[in-house]
Structure 1
Amino acid sequence: MNIKAQIPNLFTMLNLFSGCVALFFVSVEQFDLAFYFVCLGIFFDFFDGFFARKFNVAGPLGVQLDSLADMVTSGVVPGFVMFKLLALACNQEEINYAMSHNGIGETHSSIYSYLLWLPFLGFIITLGACYRLAKFNIDERQSDSFIGLPTPANALFFTSLPILSSVLYDDFGFQFSYNKWLLIGLTLISAYIMNAEIPLFSLKIKNFSFAKYKLQIFFLAVSVLMLILLKMLAVPLIIILYVLLSVINNIVTKKASV
């Protein structure tokens, strides 16, 4: 057995294992630990490709394993997080309604029966991630850049939302995670932007050329600064910044080529 050939696959399996552990923590609503294990999975996901290129052992098995592991860590986990957030939002809405109508025991099931099924819309994120990963495997245009938001970035955005909501509530008394329509809107945007024909710059820096990678270097520098200043609040903002910078870069590049 070629040991070197199995090192990337080992990192891929560690990515998958991290995603499985994250699923457990989402199920018991320990969202902070789920977020950390998703981060760990993405870390392993980066290094499976790194070692595959370094040892020149990239192959079809590794490609399939990588997508299957990403499907869990960056597909199922964020979908499950949104399911949980929507369930909590719906439960809170039902409690608020009951308390304003003569006690908790007097809910109107005819009005709120849809709340039982609404949380399942969160798994639209999982469906979008699955479609994105399948497209990525057969799209030869995405070797040096991305088209559509990568699933790991999408996973970081959604797994950070419960923590962000908790921080905002503790500091400002603002609880956006109980707004089910906002959550559904983010879910639909997520499924779209992962599969949209929007070129996004790659963060792979193959050599230290400032002229060639000035956009990537600027993004990484701003991201580090935001993490230092804002801590957890920075995570979703960094993902939004990544998309905005890519769109601006596309516009500038298109105008320059005209």
Structure 2
Amino acid sequence: MKKFIPNALTLLNLLCGSIAVIFVVNNNFVTASFFVFLGIFFDFFDGFAARKLNVQSALGVQLDSLADMVTSGLVPGMVMYKLLNLAHSSWGDIEMNSNSILSFDNIALLPILGLAITLASAYRLAKFNIDEDQQTYFKGLPTPANTLLIVSLPLILEFQNSDAINAIILNKWFLIALTILSCYLLNSNIKLFALKFKDWSFKSNATRYIFIILCIIFLIVLQFAAIPVIILLYIIMSVLDNLTSK
């Protein structure tokens, strides 16, 4: 019976991601984000449960990636598509009509660029499944971390109430650049530390403990705006950790 527990958690991740897609389509980003956070929670604990119960399986690995493809692949791509659509409404210098190369039957084509994140996520998940080296570290930004980065944008718009920040997030060039950066980071060769503790000593986990403490501080001070800062911090600390280990 215990061998089904990790797979059940993975399926809950998939369910949360599927529900999140529905809310994104209906422009309810706050509720969608809640289900994304919940799905990522299940994604973390399905692997944890499999290791603790000693019931890891090839089926579980494949099922986990399939669930991640929705929660941490399709959802962020859809969110970026929606954000690019919002930014599109302010592209006053581009007249969109049925004869424009940027539209098809009144559907803007350029925002579809956001779905490049979904494609990059699928490619990363496929590479991860056949890479036997990524046991103690990640090569490239993990899909859940990238998803948190993208999903944080509509939450910042909703709750931070800053005209300056809103203007940046809804800037077409910012969103396009972030989409390209996201796709690159997902499939880069940058080694990023994993939040897996072999023991609880500070000496062997100094980077992880410092990162967690800084995350808590940033979340308290910056709220949802802390998420992009935390992702940047994660990358910087990983690069520094790689340099010091050498």
Instruction: Give the TM-score, by structure 2 length.
Output: 0.93
| Equivalent position of 2:67 in the other structure | 69
Q: Which of 58, 61, 64 in structure 2 is aligned with 1:60? A: 58
Return the letter of the residue paired with 2:102: Y
| Equivalent position of 1:5 in the other structure | 3
Q: Does 1:118 align with 2:110?
A: yes
Q: Which of 125, 128, 146 in structure 2 is aligned with 1:154? A: 146
C-alpha contact 1:129 1:191 (8 A) present in aligned 2: yes
- For residue 180 of structure 1, report the CA deviation from its aligned partner: 1.3
C-alpha contact 1:165 1:175 (8 A) present in aligned 2: no
C-alpha contact 1:148 1:198 (8 A) present in aligned 2: yes
Q: Which of 197, 208, 212 in structure 2 is aligned with 1:216? A: 208
CA 111–233 in structure 1, closer or farther in 2 if over 3 Å, else same: farther
Return the letter of the residue paired with 1:201: F
Return the letter of the residue paired with 1:15: N
Q: Which of 155, 172, 178 in structure 2 is aligned with 1:163? A: 155
Q: Does 1:233 align with 2:225?
A: yes
CA 111–162 in structure 1, closer or farther in 2 if over 3 Å, else same: farther
CA 61–97 in structure 1, closer or farther in 2 if over 3 Å, else same: same
Paired with 1:217 and 1:154, the residues of 2 have a C-alpha distance of: 21
CA 44–110 in structure 1, closer or farther in 2 if over 3 Å, else same: closer
Paired with 1:187 and 1:40, the residues of 2 have a C-alpha distance of: 24
Q: Unpaired runs of 5+ in structure 1?
A: 99-106
Instruction: Give the TM-score, by structure 1 length.
Output: 0.89
Paired with 1:41 and 1:108, the residues of 2 have a C-alpha distance of: 37
Deviation per CA, 1:101-140: give whole Å up to 9, x if none.
xxxxxx5648964151101100110111001101111111
Between stretches 223-232 and 78-87, larger displacement belongs to 223-232
Return the letter of the residue paired with 2:177: G
| Equivalent position of 2:31 in the other structure | 33
Return the letter of the residue paired with 1:14: L
Paired with 2:38 and 2:96, the residues of 1 have a C-alpha distance of: 44
Q: Which of 84, 87, 110 in structure 1 is aligned with 2:85? A: 87
Q: Does 1:144 align with 2:136?
A: yes
Paired with 1:65 and 1:246, the residues of 2 have a C-alpha distance of: 28
C-alpha contact 1:124 1:191 (8 A) present in aligned 2: yes
Residue 133 of structure 2 aligns to a residue whose secondary structure is: helix
C-alpha contact 1:22 1:77 (8 A) present in aligned 2: yes
Paired with 2:87 and 2:96, the residues of 1 have a C-alpha distance of: 17
Deviation per CA, 1:149-172: give whole Å up to 9, x if none.
00000000001111113445x234
Q: How many aligned residue pairs are there?
A: 241
Paired with 2:191 and 2:111, the residues of 1 have a C-alpha distance of: 31
Percent identity for Structure 1 against Structure 2: 50
Spell out the pairing of 1:96-111 with structure 2 (5 A cutoff).
96-97=92-93, 107=95, 109=97
CA 226–6 in structure 1, closer or farther in 2 if over 3 Å, else same: same
Return the letter of the residue paired with 1:236: P
C-alpha contact 2:96 2:102 (8 A) present in aligned 1: no
- For residue 25 of structure 1, report the CA deviation from its aligned partner: 1.1
CA 53–108 in structure 1, closer or farther in 2 if over 3 Å, else same: closer
Residue 46 of structure 1 aligns to a residue whose secondary structure is: helix
Deviation per CA, 1:7-41: give whole Å up to 9, x if none.
00000000000001111111111111111111100
